[in-house]
C-alpha cells in the first residue's frame, strides 16, 4: 500500500534588508553591486551572488548569458566555482543572491534554479558543513535558509553513485 511523505522547509523571513545582521546586510549589498555587472542582454534579468568564506573573504559572481542559452551561466555557479578555484582550502559560509530586471520590479526573494541548488549542495557535502543561503530581490522580504539542503530536499549525492 502506498503512503504519503510530507516534507516542509523552514526559512527565516525578514521584512527587508535593513533587518539583517551587519554581516548579512554587507553580503546582500555586495550581491546587489555585482548584479550590475551581469551580462543579460536577452532576459534583462540581472542576478548577483556574493559568497562569504570562513576566512571572512568575499567572492562575487553575476549571471553571464549567451545567445545560445545553454552556454550561459547563473550568478550562483559563477561565484561558487570561482570560490573553489581560487580558495579551495576555505569553506563557504554564506551565499547571498539577488536580482533586478529592466522590465519589472523584483520585489520578492529570488531563489536559485535547480542546477544552482545542486551545485551548491555539492559544495555543502564536500565541506561537510551547512551553507547559509540569503535570498532577496530589489526590495521586499528576505528569506534565509540555514542549509542548501533546506531548499533542495532529497538532493542527489555521491552515495547514489557508489551503490553496487
Rg (CA), the chain: 16
pLDDT in tens, 39-96: 999 999 999 999 999 999 999 999 999 999 889 999 999 999 999 999 999 999 999 9
Q: Does 116 have pLDDT greater than 70?
A: yes
Query: Is residue 104 within 8 Å of residue 140, measured between CB atoms?
Result: no
> How are beta strands 92-101 and 142-145 bridged, if at all?
unpaired
Whether the pTM exceeds 0.95: the reply is no
The rounded distance, in Å, linking the Cα atoms of 91 and 129 is 8
- Delineate the domains of the chain, giving CATH numbers in brackets: 21-143 (3.40.140.10)
Residue in the block written with cell 562569504: 52
Q: Which entry of 76, 122, 141, 149 is annotated as an active-site residue? A: 76
- Confirm whether 65 is a catalytic residue: no
Residue 110 C-beta-side C-alpha neighbours within 13 Å: 29
Amino acid at each position: 500500500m502506498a503512503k504519503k511523505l510530507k516534507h516542509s522547509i523552514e526559512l527565516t523571513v525578514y521584512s527587508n534588508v535593513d533587518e539583517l545582521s551587519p554581516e548579512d546586510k554587507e553580503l546582500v549589498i555586495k550581491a546587489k553591486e555585482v548584479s550590475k555587472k551581469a551580462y543579460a542582454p536577452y532576459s534583462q534579468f540581472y542576478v548577483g551572488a556574493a559568497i562569504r568564506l570562513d576566512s571572512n573573504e568575499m567572492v562575487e559572481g553575476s549571471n553571464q548569458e549567451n545567445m545560445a542559452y545553454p552556454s550561459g551561466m547563473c550568478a550562483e555557479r559563477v561565484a561558487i566555482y570561482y570560490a573553489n578555484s581560487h580558495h579551495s582550502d576555505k569553506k563557504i559560509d554564506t551565499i547571498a543572491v539577488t536580482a533586478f530586471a529592466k522590465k519589472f520590479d523584483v520585489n520578492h526573494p529570488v531563489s536559485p534554479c535547480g542546477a544552482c541548488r545542486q551545485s551548491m549542495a555539492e559544495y555543502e557535502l564536500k565541506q561537510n558543513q551547512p551553507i547559509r543561503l540569503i535570498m532577496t530581490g530589489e526590495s521586499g522580504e528576505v528569506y534565509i535558509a540555514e542549509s542548501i539542503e533546506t531548499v533542495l530536499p532529497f538532493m542527489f549525492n555521491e552515495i547514489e553513485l557508489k551503490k553496487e
